[in-house]
Structure 1
Amino acid sequence: MLSENINPYKFRFAGDEFNSYLFTTVQGAAYTVKFKPTPYLFEAYSEIREQVYELVIDLTRPTSSKPRLDPAIAVTIAAICHDFFVDKERILLYICETADARHMARVRKFGAWFYEFNDSGFLKIDTSFPDTNGITYYLSLIFRMGHPHRHTIIDEFERLARNYNEDK
């Protein structure tokens, strides 16, 4: 692992309706990592709908200088996700932001982070949704490999992707 000798930044759980975590880098950049409840994704499945959260990573205070590569950011986000999953069945939805046209870089970075920090206990499934303007949205779901409803999660997510893509 490339990051095995890198420590995460200190972070704190702020709570709130988005289950927010906060941290600041040595360069002074401030981040908020949110886990927004997203029950509508599996609305028909009462056993899992309250376990779904959208992962949002917000740079809330950029640095005044040109940012340099900081591998501790990835390590910190992985530690925050681990903390959020501890002793709970949760399902993370990650949607790569498209507003600045850097979504493909985000897809690659998020995938690399997952494979770097996954201890084989989690499963990641990916899909994409094209919209009518030609923009493709990339989504990932992450959940424990041993989730008691993993087959329902996989089947329903694949069904949602198929149905959405057939409508286009």
Structure 2
Amino acid sequence: YNPSLKLPSNDKKIGATVVAIFMEFYSRRNNAISVYICESSDGKELARKRKFDHWFQDYNDDTFIKVDKNLIDQNNNKFPVSLIISNSNPYEQQIFKAFVHLSLNNQK
């Protein structure tokens, strides 16, 4: 959240910190999944999505798979939502199908 509307700093440590948190989470729960929606109250959800996409591309060593979709509300507002899962998760295909099904059923 950025009420002052200032551009955020380009601190390289932020991406590394986010990745470290994800890695710690998955090291303790190897079959876990992460689903996140980019916050949209200030209209910058697409910028946040691009930032997370960039971090995922830069830091992922093919250990994880990410699927991106949009949730669309009754006013046709789009909310980027992503799923991250370990490629060794034995339920990978079922989880992907459920995620896609959820995103398609949420479009009004």
Q: Give TM-score scaled by structure 1 length.
A: 0.57
Q: Structure 1 residue 67: deviation in Å?
A: 5.2
CA distance in 1, matches of 2:97, 2:7: 44
**Larger Cα Rg: Structure 1 or Structure 2?**
1
**Could you tell me how far 1:160 is from its partner in structure 2?**
1.1
* Sequence identity percentage: 35
Alignment of 1:102 with 2:40, yes or no, is no
Runs of 5+ unmatched residues, structure 2: none
Count of paired positions: 104
Q: Which has the higher strand share?
A: 1
Larger relative contact order (C-alpha < 8 A, sep ≥ 6)?
Answer: 2
Q: Which runs of 5+ in 1 are unaligned?
A: 1-57, 60-64
CA contact (8 A) 2:73 2:106 kept: no
RMSD of aligned Cα (Å): 1.9
Corresponding residue SS for 1:86: helix
Q: How far apart are residue 68 of structure 1 and its match? A: 2.8
The one-letter code matched in structure 2 to 1:68 is: S
Aligned to 1:136: 78
Distance 1:94 1:70 in 2: 22
Divergent runs of 4+, >4 A: none
Q: What is the distance in 2 between the residues matched to 1:67 and 1:163?
A: 35
Question: In 1, are the aligned partners of 2:63 and 2:86 still within 8 Å (CA)?
Answer: yes
Q: How far does the alpha carbon of each residue in 1:14-64 deviate from its partner, in whole angstroms, 9 at most, with x for none?
A: xxxxxxxxxxxxxxxxxxxxxxxxxxxxxxxxxxxxxxxxxxxx89xxxxx
Shift of residue 101 of structure 1? 0.4
